[in-house]
Amino acid sequence: MRLVDWVVVHTAGAYDFKAKRVVYQSTESIREYHKRHNGWHDIGYHWVVEDDGRLMPGRTEDTIGAHVGGFNEHSIGICVTGHGDFSPFRPAQMAQLVRLCAGICEARQLPPARVIGHREAPDHGAAPTHKTCPGTLVDMNEIRRLVADRLDPEVA
């Protein structure tokens, strides 16, 4: 099993400025974009949480991802479809994200503090980024709190 120290949360960042609406892409459309636009062999993330909360696999967790520059070797990347600057994660997405992050933390023996947003990764050694990912409407402290509550319901 690959050594993993971090779980990094992303948003697909899809917004239709003409129609003024968030676009919820499918895992396959993200995969095709990564392959065609970035020239990668597969989607960069390990998991994708689609608009309805459905969890879809990306790369296997034992495969190094392509989601945060200088940080992929020891992290798992999770993408939540939509655009976190224009709309918070939907309730079904948030519930699935928390379940997934708690499961990864439990399996990898990571504390909830190791669940971070892409924008927070440079604080922990990743390449600098100008991105707000997973979005200004996504509260990573709240996500970490919910993951902690799920891992230790006695404390909640």
The CA radius of gyration of the chain, in Å to the nearest whole number, is: 15
Q: Give the phi and the psi of residue 21 in degrees, each rounded to 5.
A: -150, 150
Q: Kindly tell me if the per-residue pLDDT of 155 is higher than 80.
A: no
Those residues whose C-beta lies under 8 Å from the C-beta of residue 139, and which sit 6 or more positions away, are none
Q: Kindly tell me if the per-residue pLDDT of 153 is higher than 90.
A: no
Q: What is residue 150's predicted lDDT score, i.e. its pLDDT? A: 96
The answer, yes or no, to whether the previous bond of 111 is cis (omega within 30 of 0) is: no
pLDDT band at 156 (very low <50, low <70, confident <90, very high): low
**Cα atoms in the 13 Å half-sphere on the side-chain side of 66:** 13
**Tens digits of per-residue pLDDT, 73-120?**
999 999 999 999 999 999 999 999 999 999 999 999 999 999 999 999
Q: What is residue 66's predicted lDDT score, i.e. its pLDDT? A: 97
- Percent of the chain at pLDDT > 70 equals 98
Q: What is residue 45's predicted lDDT score, i.e. its pLDDT? A: 98
**Tens digits of per-residue pLDDT, 55-84?**
999 999 999 999 999 999 999 999 999 999
pLDDT band at 1 (very low <50, low <70, confident <90, very high): confident
Task: For residue 134, give both structure tokens.
Answer: 């997973």
pLDDT band at 152 (very low <50, low <70, confident <90, very high): confident
Q: What is residue 44's predicted lDDT score, i.e. its pLDDT? A: 98
The H or E element spanning position 105 is: helix 91-108
